[in-house]
Structure 1
Amino acid sequence: MKSNDSYQENKANFRQAKILVIDDNNDQWLLIQKAMQEVLPEVTVVWVSETTQALLLLEEWQTQEWEIPKMILLDLYMPENSDGWNLLQQIKRMPSPCDRIPIVMLSASINKTDIRTAYELGVSSYLIKPIDFQDWIAYFQELRTYWWETVTLPPLQYKL
């Protein structure tokens, strides 16, 4: 049983919670959006379909603490995997707090090299994209349980 203090700490993950979804596939986005609305209704979801859009948003948000997403869901193939790798590396080179945002790599790829490279480049998790809507629901229920209800995320710290 959780103490009230630890419950309140974990609840902090929901405060002003935002997830940035970076995926160039509109059909995948529609599934992700609908599943997230069902499972994480209190979370604001922002979608971009291009790597340049993602970088512009993150650069804009990096000085606005209330805008920083709690997590990034990044598609590897944007449309090529080199695009996903480049974006991941650019985010990891950004100033704090953007470089500390947990990044979950989403991909249809089950290639072991892709998985290994993703972790070597600093993703927090690598998840193979579900195929049908019910699997997306199950995926986001697990994501909610782990990232929002179990893990305690540190407050974002700005470096001056």
Structure 2
Amino acid sequence: MKTNDDQSRIKANFSRAKLLIIDDNDDQWMLIRRAMQECLSEVTPIRASTPEQAIDLLSDWQFQEWEIPKLILLDLYLPDSQEGWGLLRQIKTMPSPFNHIPIVMFSSSSSAEDISTAYQLGVSSYVVKPTDFKDWLSYFQEIRSYWWETITLPPIQYTF
């Protein structure tokens, strides 16, 4: 049973909630957006299809805390892993609050080396991408349950 504290935390997590999705595949984006509409309709998905677009968005949000996403989904292959690793490193070296946004890396790769490297570089989670829409629905239901209904997301705090 959810307590008043649980309800307050969940409400805070959903407040102005945005999810930055960095994926270069248009077909995957269509599946992601559709699954989010069904499972996370309160959250606004924002897509960047290149590392440059992602950095531009984050830079634009530098002084607009209401625009900062509460979570980032980062595809490792943009289209190759070097771009994904490079973007992850860039985000992790950005000033606060950007370097504190939880990052879930998702990829078609189940390589132990990729998974290990991702955690060494600071991702919060690593998930192998679903292959069909039913699995995307399950994936986003789990994201909803864990990232929005279970944990407390960090508040946005700028450091200058």
User: Where does residue 84 of structure 1 map in the other structure?
Assistant: 84
Give me the CA root mean square deviation.
0.8
1:130-149 pair list within 5 angstroms: 130-149=130-149
Q: Distance in 2 between matches of 1:37 and 1:119?
A: 29
SS in 2 for 1:126: strand
Partner residue in 1 for 2:114:
114
- TM-score if structure 1 supplies the norm length? 0.98
- Work out the CA distance in 1 between the residues paired with 2:36 and 2:99: 24
**Contact 1:71–1:102 (Cα < 8 Å) also in 2:** yes
The match for 1:97 is: 97
Tell me the alpha carbon deviations over residues 98-145 of structure 1, each in whole angstroms, 9 at most, x when there is no partner.
111000001000100000000000000000000000000001001100
Say which SS state the counterpart of residue 10 (structure 1) adopts: helix
Tell me, which stretches of 5 or more residues in structure 2 are unaligned? none
Aligned to 2:39: 39
Q: In the alignment, residue 151 of structure 1 is paired with which amino acid?
A: I
| Structure 1 unaligned blocks of 5 or more | none
Q: Counterparts of 2:7 and 2:147 in 1: how far apart (Å)?
A: 14
Report the residue type matching 1:107 in the other structure: S
Of residues 148-157 and 110-119 in structure 1, the stretch that sits farther from structure 2 once superposed is: 148-157
How many angstroms apart in 1 are the aligned matches of 2:9 and 2:29?
30
Q: Secondary structure at the match of 2:60?
A: helix
Provide the residue aligned with 1:152 in structure 2.
Answer: 152
- In 2, Cα distance between equivalents of 1:51 and 1:108: 18
| Structure-2 residue corresponding to 1:71 | 71
Alpha-carbon separation, structure 1, partners of 2:21 and 2:99: 16
Between the two proteins, what is the percent identity of the paired residues? Answer: 62
Name 2:24's counterpart in structure 1: 24
The alignment's TM-score, normalised by the length of structure 2, stands at 0.98
Residues paired across the two proteins, number: 160
| Equivalence for 1:2 | 2
In 1: Cα distance, 2:22 partner to 2:12 partner: 24
**Aligned partner letter, 1:150:** T
CA displacement 1:33-92 (0-9 Å, x = unmatched): 100011001111001111100000001112110000000000000011000000000000
* Counterparts of 2:46 and 2:57, CA distance in 1: 10
